[in-house]
Structure 1
Amino acid sequence: MASTTASPPPAAGDHPRVLLRGLLSRETCKELEFVHRSCGAAGYRPSVVSTSLPHLAATGCGHLLLPFVPVRERLRDAVESFFDCLFDVFIEFTGLISWCKGASIGWHSDDNKPYLRQRAFTAVCYLNNHGEDYKGGILQFQDGDPSSIVPVAGDVVIYTADNRNVHCVTEVTEGERLTLTLWFTRDRAYNEDPKLLTFLSQTSLSCEPTKQKFYIPMPASDNMYWFPCDQSGFDIRCARVHVLGFSFHSSSGEYSTSVLPTEDDPVELLGKQLRLGRGDDVFDKIFSNSLHALQVVQFYYWKAPELAARREQSAVGSRTVRYPVIIHHSRGTELPLPCNHTLAQTIFGSVNTAEIAFKWNDFALGVAMWENYSEDLKKQLLTFLPFWLSNESIFVVDSSELQRAEPI
C-alpha cells in the first residue's frame, strides 16, 4: 500500500482542502490508466476524454469497475474523516478524465450550476506526472493554501465543492493529464450506486459465464469516439492505436471495397471484425471489433515489462500461447478509416514507447494475459453483484461474507 502524508488541515470555515500524497499506488494508477486509454470516449468539454462507470457497463466492460471499488472506499473514508461527516456522504459521480492539449477551465466552484448544487466535496486523484507526461494543467485555487497543486501520480486533493474553493485548471500545452475524479453529496437521492447497480444488473447478469469470451467489449455509438479539434478531428480508437504504432486491418487478410457497409461509412468498420497491423506485419488473430483490439494493445503496454520478463514462457495459467502467424506485406489490407494522424499524434502522442522493445511473441502472450485478466474480473463481478444489489451499494466484499454465502 502506498504511504500517505497529509498537509495540515485548514482552519474551519476558511478554504477547507487537503493534499494527500501517495494515496494511490503506482500500480493502481497504471491500471486505471489502462482502463481509460482503452475505453474512454469524447468528454464533456473540448479537448477532454472521459470514462464514466455507466459507460463501462454499457459497453460490456462492467467488470472493469472492479479496480475502482477499493479506491472509491478509501476516498470516501478520507472525505468523511477530514470533513468530520462520518456515514453522511454518498458518491455522486466517479469518472476517469483526461485533459488533452488545449484543455483548460476558468475560475469556478464545482457546484456552480443549479443542477450541481447537490455536490458537497470533490476528490481529484492524479494518475500521471506533471512535467514528465504532460505540461500545463496546474490546479490553482483563488484563495487559501495550498494555492496550487503540481500533479504527481498517486497524489489526491480533496476540497469542498462550494465557493470556498473557487479554482481553475491552466491550459494543458502538451501531453495528456489523467485524473480519477469523484464528487460526493450528502443527498442520498443523488447516490450513483443504486442507478449504477440497476444498469449493471441489466448488462452483466444477462451474460452467461459459460459463454465463450463473455468479456469481449462492445463499442458505443461511433459519434461518442469522435474527438473534434480545429475544424478537423479523429476517432479516438484509431488515434489510440496509431500513436502506439498499430493500425487496423481487414479481417480477411486483404482489403476490398466490398467490406464497406452499404452506407459507405468507413467508421462502421470499427464495429466489425478486424486485425491489428504494425509496420509491414499483420497479426494473425481476428478481433471482434476495434474496442476489443484497443483493449489488448493498451493492456500490452501496461504489462510490457512483465511480458518481456516472461518471454520464454509458453503458457499463462491454463492457456497455451500460440506464437502468432504474421502476414507480411500488409499493403492493401489497412482499413480506409478517417483519422487525422498528425492531429492525433499532437493530442495523444505523449506516450513514451521508446523503452519498450516490441516483439510479436510478447504481444501474443499479452493477448492471453488480457483474456485471463478480463475473465477473472468478470467472474468476480458476477460473484459480488448479488451482495451489492442486496445492499444497494458497491463495496469491497469481505472474504468471510463470500464464505458464508457458499452452499454447505
Structure 2
Amino acid sequence: MSAAAASPPPPAAAGEHLRFHLRGFLSPETCKELEFVHRSCGTAGYRPSVVSTSLPHLAATGCGHLLLPFVPVRERLRDAVESAFSCHFDLFIEFTGLISWCKGASIGWHSDDNKPYLRQRAFTAVCYLNDHGKDYKGGILQFQDGEPSFITPVAGDVVIYTADNSNTHCVDEVTEGERLTLTLWFTRDSAYDEDPKLLSFLSQTSLNYEPVHQSSYIPLPASDIMYWFAYDHSGFDVRCARVHILGFSFHSSIDEDNKSVAPAEDDPIELLGKPVRLGRGDDVFDKVFANGLHALQVVQFYYWKAPELSAKRKQTSGGSGTVCCPVSQSRGTKLPLPCNHGLEQTIFGSHKNVEIDFEWSDFELAVSMWENYSEELQRKLLTFLPYWLSSEAIFIVSSCSPQVRTEGN
C-alpha cells in the first residue's frame, strides 16, 4: 500500500486555468495493487464500454478489506488538492472509484459539475494506473483552454483541476486496450462526504468487530447482470472474460458423491455464483473456489505477483524446474458460459506483451499468498474500523495511536 513521495504543487495564481500535472505521484507498486483490485472486482460501468469499481461495491461484495490500499492515496490526493488550490475550508471526498475505459469509450466537451446533481463537485483528481501507447491507444485527456492543453497518460501521474467550466475537457476515444484510472471528486459540502455513508455501509455488511474467520475475505458476487458487458448486440461476463484473456477457464466443481454440479437450465452464468474450479489448457486445478469471483481474485493476484512467484520457485528448486503439479485432467467439465471470447479480446486487449513463465506450483503458492494478503488487510480493517466510525472519516491510523489495539496488546 505504499505511495511514492511527491512534492505538493505550488498554489495557483488568480485567473489561471486551475490544473496541475503531478508526475510520478503514485509508485509503480501502488498502481499495480489498485489495478489488481479493479481487475478482480470491477463490473460493467455507468456508460458504454466502461468498467468500474466503487468503494461501496467493494463493501457490498465482501471485499471491504480491499479499501485499505485506497486510504493513503486518498489522503495524499486531498493534501495535494488543498495545497494546489489554497483551500481555506474543509474539503471532503465525494467519490472514489477505479474506472477503465475500453475500446470505443470516449466523452465530449464538459465540466465535471455540469449537471444539477453534480454542482457540489469542486475539484477532480485523475490518477493514471497504466501507460498510454503500451497498454492502450487513444484516451487522451484534452482541455479546451489553458495549459497544459492535453495529458498523455503515464502510470503514476496525476492531473488535478477545478470541476467548473474553467476546465472544460474531453477524452478521446479509446481505440485499443483498456485505460485504467483512479478518479476522485472533492466537495466543500459535508452532506456529500463519501466517508460516513461508506462507513455505515461497512458496519452493516461484513464486519461487526468479530475476529477474522477463515472465510471472511471470500468475495460474494453481486447480481449477474452487473457483470454483463454489452457491446454491439453481443457481450460477455466480465468475470469470465478477465479469467479467459489470462489463459484460464472456469470448470464445474465436484460434489461429495463425485458428480459434477449440473449447469443451470435457464442461465449458465448463474454457475459463476457457485463453487468452481479453474483450468488451463488440459489441466484443471485441484482447489475448489467458493465462486467465480473468488477464482478471479486469485487469478488476478497470481498475474500481479507472477514475477515474484517465479523467482521464488527458481530459488527453492535451484533452477531445476522439477515441481509437483497440483492438477488433474478429470476433475470437472468446462462450464458452458455464453461469452464472446473474440469480443473480450477486442475490448480488454491481451497480455501477450507480458511474458509469464507459468507453472501450476507458482499458482498454488499464489493461492496461499492471496489468502495471507486478504487476511492481513481484513485484520487491519477490523482494527481501524471502530476508530473510523467514531470519527466518521476514513484515514490512516497509526499503529502507535492509543485508540488502536493490535492483537496481543
What whole-Å deviation, never above 9, does each CA across 1:116-146 have from its counterpart, x for those lacking one? 0000000000000000100000000000000
Aligned to 1:376: 376
* Per-residue CA distance 1:10-38 (angstroms, 9 max, x = gap): 54233100010001000000000000000
Q: 1:234 to 1:7 in 2, by over 3 A?
A: same
Q: Map of 1:179-258 to 2, 5 A cutoff?
A: 179-206=181-208, 208-252=210-254
Q: CA deviation at 1:352?
A: 3.9
Name the counterpart of 2:327. 326
1:259 Cα deviation after fit: 1.0
Q: Structure 1 residues 210 and 179, CA, compared in 2 at 3 Å: closer, same or farther?
A: closer
Q: Which residue of 2 aligns with 1:387?
A: 387
Q: Is the 8 A contact 2:254 2:260 kept in 1?
A: no
**Could you list the per-position Cα deviations for residues 277-313 of structure 1 after superposition, in whole angstroms to 9, with x for gaps in the alignment?**
0000000000000000000000001001110111167
Is the CA contact (8 Å cut-off) linking 2:90 and 2:188 kept in structure 1?
yes
Query: What is the rounded CA distance, in whole Å, between the counterparts of 1:167 and 1:354 in structure 2?
Result: 33
Equivalent residue in structure 1 for 2:155, among 150, 153, 156: 153
Q: Report deviation, 1:212.
A: 2.1
Structure 1 residue 88: Cα displacement: 1.6
> In structure 2, which of residues 9, 18, 21 is the aligned counterpart of residue 19 of structure 1?
21
CA–CA separation in structure 2 for the residues paired with 1:220 and 1:404: 32
Distance 1:361 1:312 in 2: 11
* Aligned residue in 2 for 1:37: 39
Structure 1 unmatched runs, 5+: 315-321
The verdict on how the C-alpha distance between 1:306 and 1:394 changes in structure 2, with shifts beyond 3 A counting, is same
Q: Which amino acid aligns with 1:199?
A: F
CA distance in 2, matches of 1:79, 1:258: 52
Q: Counterpart amino acid of 2:84?
A: F
For each residue in 1:52-87, what CA deviation from the matched residue of structure 2 results, as whole angstroms up to 9, or x when unmatched? 000000000000000000000000000001111145
Measure, in 2, the Cα distance between the counterparts of 1:54 and 1:169: 26
Amino acid at match of 1:169: V
Q: Does 1:126 align with 2:128?
A: yes
Aligned twin of 2:263: 260
Equivalent position of 2:280 in the other structure: 278
Partner of residue 356, structure 2 = 356
Question: What is the distance in 2 between the residues matched to 1:56 and 1:144?
Answer: 37
* Residues in 2 aligned to 1:361 and 1:73: alpha-carbon distance in whole angstroms: 38
Q: Is the 8 A contact 1:140 1:147 kept in 2?
A: yes
The answer to whether structure 1 residue 57 and structure 2 residue 59 are counterparts is: yes
Instruction: Give SS of 1:121's match.
Output: strand
The one-letter amino acid paired with 1:328 is Q
Work out the CA distance in 2 between the residues paired with 1:127 and 1:221: 27
What's the TM-score, normalizing by structure 1?
0.93
Contact residue 285 and residue 324 of structure 1 kept, 8 A: no
The match for 1:317 is none
Flag the 1:307–1:24 CA change in 2: closer, same or farther, 3 A. Answer: same
CA contact (8 A) 2:253 2:260 kept: no
Give the TM-score normalised by structure 2: 0.93
Q: Which residue of 2 aligns with 1:115?
A: 117
Give the AA of the match of 1:290: G
Cα 1:84/1:2, change in 2 over 3 Å:
same
Instruction: Report the AA paired with residue 99 of structure 1.
Output: W
- Which of 126, 133, 136 aligns to 2:138? It is 136
Quote the Cα distance in structure 2 between the aligned partners of 1:151 and 1:353: 19
**Amino acid in structure 2 at the alignment position of 1:195:** K
Amino acid of the residue matched to residue 260 of structure 1? P
For the 8 Å contact 1:34–1:298, the answer to whether it is kept is: yes
Measured against aligned partners, the alpha-carbon deviations of 1:214-237 in whole angstroms (never above 9, x if no partner) come to 110000000000000000110000
Cα distance in 1, alignment partners of residues 353 and 313 from structure 2: 18
2:319 alignment counterpart? none
Moved more, 66-75 or 5-14: 5-14
Q: 2:341 — aligned with what?
A: 341
Check conservation: 1:280, 1:329, Cα contact below 8 A: no
Distance in 1 (alpha carbons) for counterparts of 2:171 and 2:328: 47
Alignment CA distance shift 1:394-1:363 (3 Å): same
